[in-house]
Structures are given as structure tokens and as C-alpha cells.
Structure 1
């Protein structure tokens, strides 16, 4: 692809769009790896305090963690469905609604807001744990989630990123969050019951 400026209909030169290349993913990938590794190292070397965030209305920090993760997961499902509508993979009667982009963005923002106190509780209060397979997988998934989320957010504004990158990263973030929910909230609710 040539980098020579193209001519617009008005006869003025316009810059040709940057070619889409996997190289555009290098900096986001390095940042995502650094976030994952940093979280893992901090969680491993930090001496757990037992409590970090005590959200009003919950019986304890683990209940708050389970419910906030459930809220984030529900909002991630909204994100997935709205993305499928936006990409034309899921059709709705009457065509794509004009508000679907806003729903997608706001459900993602709210999911992240719900996930932050959970991450603080996990990192500061519990640390990186490996005393059981479930807990080890949960710890690794938490590191993966925030690294993949970082990469996705850095790829989002890049117009020269390959078209497959954003759906792939969004899918990875979604899959990691679902697995986090199963290794934490589902485990909590099945062992301690549905309680706040």
C-alpha cells in the first residue's frame, strides 16, 4: 500500500489511511504483559491484610467481592450482546438501535468500576494465592483479565490495528471474567449460599 496522499473529490490531497498491521499491537501487548506481571508480582510479594474494601450493605468482604464480580459479569454479558449487535452478528427487529453504542460503552465502564474494588480486595487483602487449584487458577485469571483489558483499551483507538484484534481481545477479556466468576462468585454462592 502506498503512503502517497490520495486526492479527495474536492481536489485536495488527503493522507492515505495507515495500513493495518499486527505491529500496531506491539506496544499494547507489552503494556498488557507488564500489567499482568506487575499485578502477579505485587500480589505474590505483598503480605495479605485480610481486608481491603468493606462495601456497605454486604455481610463481609467476600460477599461484596462475589456480588460485585456478579454485577461485572452481568454487565460483560451486556457488552458481549451489544458488540454482537454492533458487528452485525446478532440482528434485532427494526435494525441496529442508535443507542447500542452507548449501551456498549457504559456497560463496559460500569463493569470496570464494579471490578476495581474486587481487584483491590483480591490483591491487597488476599494476595496471589496457590493453596488449591481453584485459587491458583483464579489468581492467574485475575492477572490475565487486567492485562488483556489493558491491551484492549490501548488497541481500541488504534486505527492501524488489524480488524481481528479488538474482537479477539474483547473475547479474551470476556472469557477471563466468566472464568473468574466461576472460580470465585459461583464457588462462594454454592458454598455459602446466596446472601449479601
Structure 2
């Protein structure tokens, strides 16, 4: 009996090695922010709320802007990955620019949170918010470092993008949504 010994051509698993550096650096960013936020003596004041009634209102509105832009990110990613079928040559540019602007909106918020308030763990909402803030910047760093890497598994960017989206959504819920429902709509 002669058996056919043809080798099947299954796709070879992709290496996770190129993902190691982005994940390690992202993890270090998250830990460094948490350690700084915990060890730094909060000043109570960090950023002038130009045009806003106070720093909490500034943070609530800037985070809301970032959250709305992250919804644009979700939509444009779904278009780019073919989950929403449409001819949209503009989707990659929209994705890049909405992400850049969302990130820029988070910078004064994060600076104020870390410098003026520090990482706090005494109130559950604030603890979750502090941890999500550190996680957001860590996973965002990992995503940005993974973008130019070739040879990563196809799930890498959607997972890192999804985690970034989830973290920012959690940040919005534990800050802006809380502010608007507890303090009220103030500018």
C-alpha cells in the first residue's frame, strides 16, 4: 500500500515576539503612571481651566470630547476592517486624525489628574478611574508601538484598539458621566 504523504499547507502561526516590546513598554508606562500618581504629593491644582467654570468641568468636557472622538475611531475602524461595508477611502485618515485629537484632549486631563490629585484608592469609583487611566495610557502606548510592526497576528491591532476604546469608555463613565449626573451640566 502506498499512502499519499502530501503535507497539508496550513497557515503557520505568527510569532508573538514582535509584540513583546510594545506590551512591555506599555506595561511599564501604566505602572510608572500608577507609581507616580501614588507617590507624588498632590498639589490640588495643576491646569488652569481656561473657559471652564473649574477643573472638574474642564476635565469632564475634554474627556467627553475624547470619548466622542473614540466613537469616531470605532466607526472608522469598523469601516477599515470591513465590518461596515462602504466605499470609504477617507476612513484611514479619519481614524488617524480622530485618534490624534482624542489623545491630545486627554493630555491636560491626565496631567491634572496625576499632578493635582494623584492616584487615589479610597473611593471605589475613583480607584477604578485611577487604574483605568494608567491602563489607558499603557495600552495606547502598546498600540502605537505595535502599529509599525510587521508580522504581528491579525488580531493584534483590533484587540489593542478595543482595549484602548474600552479604557477610555470606562474613564468617561467614571468621570464625565459621573460629573454630569452628580454635579450637573456646567461649562
TM-score, reference length from structure 2: 0.91
Gapped runs of 5+ residues in structure 1?
1-18
Per-residue deviation, residues 138-185 of structure 1 (Å, max 9, x unmatched): 000001000000000000000111110000000000000001100000
- The aligned counterpart of 1:168 is 159
Query: How many residue pairs end up in the alignment?
Result: 175
CA apart distance, 1:96:
2.1
SS in 2 for 1:65: helix
156, 167, 170: which is aligned to 1:179? 170
Matched-pair contact (CA < 8 Å) for 1:20–1:159: no
TM-score, reference length from structure 1: 0.87
Are positions 1:34 and 2:25 aligned together? no
Distance in 1 separating the partners of 2:84 and 2:111: 35
- The aligned counterpart of 1:43 is 37
CA apart distance, 1:115:
0.5
- The aligned counterpart of 2:87 is 96
CA apart distance, 1:57:
0.8
CA apart distance, 1:20:
3.5
CA apart distance, 1:42:
0.2
Distance in 1 separating the partners of 2:88 and 2:19: 31
Are positions 1:62 and 2:56 aligned together? yes
Matched-pair contact (CA < 8 Å) for 1:86–1:96: no
Per-residue deviation, residues 52-108 of structure 1 (Å, max 9, x unmatched): 1113110011100000000000000000000000000012xxx32221111110000
Which runs of 4 or more aligned residues in structure 1 lie more than 3 Å from their structure 2 counterparts after TM superposition? none
CA apart distance, 1:45:
0.4
Q: How does 1:46-125 map to 2 (within 5 A)?
A: 46-91=40-85, 95-125=86-116
The two structures, once aligned, show a CA RMSD in angstroms of: 1.0
- The aligned counterpart of 1:23 is 17
Distance in 2 separating the partners of 1:96 and 1:33: 37
